[in-house]
Amino acid sequence: MSKTEPVAVVTGAARGIGAATARLFNQNGYRVALVDILPEVNELAAELSASGPECLGLVCDVSDESAVKSAVTQTLAAFGTIDVLVNNAGVVLVAAVEDINYERFKQVFNINVGGTFLFCKYVLPVLKAKREGAIVNMASVSAHVGQIDHSTYGATKGAIMAFSRALAWEVANDNIRVNSISPGSVDTPMLRGDIEIESGKTGLPFEQVKTLREAEQAFKRWADPMEIAEVIYFLASSKASFMTGVDVLVDCGWVAK
């Protein structure tokens, strides 16, 4: 890490896990470039800057190569370096295979997998020049277990796991660590959207479906986004200095069942 305030880039940072991650890094002395397609990311960046090290909000479509390249350029112009990259941006698709339009299928891959690839592509030269750094990519429990109507989403997360493992070896000689994290059920707008879809299909009230899904967890609750952010922060820190090419399950026992 640099001797001045280190710099983290967090994608999908406007809300949910990404917002919690950006907040945690900032609370621990990082300058953070918060990237999201939602303009609310600017408000969060301003809020964090008011109480901690400087933050930068960047409205960016992670599936757009020119936008990603510009976001990295703007981060370097503002902060001079990058130490950590957290590829958290993603979308979910809940539908049966035969009901998925191919354009939508490609869009989900372009955002989830393509966005991860593009940010790695443009941040890696900075990390290689420093000969240090950490990348944490967002996979999912959906990469480990079969879920009805989640075939496309699960496939993107499995791809991110495989990409992360290969990249870890590709950049090991540059002293760069690459890991992924697979959360289970986390109380985010994305998961709540899933529950709304299920509620619509079953005719059950939202809260009833939510209670049923919470009961499937070993601790009978969903994770708070900050619980996932803590693991991301650990993976990016020197405390995980001997960890690379690993996928860390934070799934409340889902895969263990």
Show the tokens assigned to 249: 């399950």
Among the residues of 96-248, which ranges form H helices?
A: 102-109, 115-130, 151-170, 189-202, 206-215, 225-236
Respond yes or no: is residue 122 known to be catalytic. no
Show the tokens assigned to 60: 């960016």
Q: Which amino acid is at 50?
A: A
- Smallest CA-to-CA distance from 187 within 229, 142, 141, 224 is with 224
**CA–CA gap between residue 46 and residue 55 (Å, rounded):** 7
157, 213 in Cβ contact below 8 A?
no
Which residue in the list 30, 122, 153, 233 is annotated as catalytic?
A: 153
Number of H helices and number of E strands within the chain?
Answer: 9, 7
Task: Give the residue numbers annotated as catalytic, written as ranges.
Answer: 153
